Amino acid sequence: MKILLPLALAAFFALTAAADVNVTGNWTGTFTATGPDGQSKDSGALLVLKQDGNEITGTAGPDENERFNIKKGTIEGNKITLDVDAGEHVLHVELTLTEDRLQGTATAQGDSGELRAKLDLKRAN
């Protein structure tokens, strides 16, 4: 019984801390893509997110003028998963929230192979 109480308290505080995470807002940064040919290209990245519980909606793209809808988005703890409808492709994004920074990877299948990218974003507001 003495062991169960500390474990229960630790679990409660972990769940409470996770519930306090909210990624709603604008996130800007870099998107470094590597194509099937191995060539890398840097561009800007903009995520406009709205969190409701563990569900995330919004848009993603290189800037204000070119954004795509998030088909499905979830957050569990500090891990975020997004599926972005980028026209002919679905971009699968996996991010980790550390303080006010989102970092992670994106992948998509194209006609010429797989696209991979690294994302590094900071909260803009």
Instruction: Check which CATH number belongs to the domain holding 94 and give it.
Output: 2.40.128.120
At 39 the pLDDT is 86
Residue 110 lies in a domain: yes
Please report the pLDDT score of residue 13 as a whole number. 44
Residue 13 lies in a domain: no
The model's pLDDT over 16-42, given as tens digits with 9 standing for 90+, comes to 344 578 999 999 999 999 877 888 999
Domain assignment present for residue 107? The answer is: yes
* Residue 10 within any structural domain of the chain: no
- The reply to whether 9 falls in a domain is no
Residue 15, classed as helix, strand or coil, is helix
Asked if the structure places residue 3 within a domain, the reply is: no
Q: Tens of pLDDT along 51-110?
A: 999 999 999 999 999 999 999 999 999 999 999 998 888 999 999 999 889 999 999 987
What pLDDT shows up at residue 104? 98
> Which amino acid is residue 17, in one-letter code?
A
Note the pLDDT of residue 88. 83
**Domain containing 35: what range?**
23-123
* Number of C-beta neighbours around residue 45 at 10 A: 22
Number of domain units in the chain? 1
Q: Is residue 2 part of a domain?
A: no
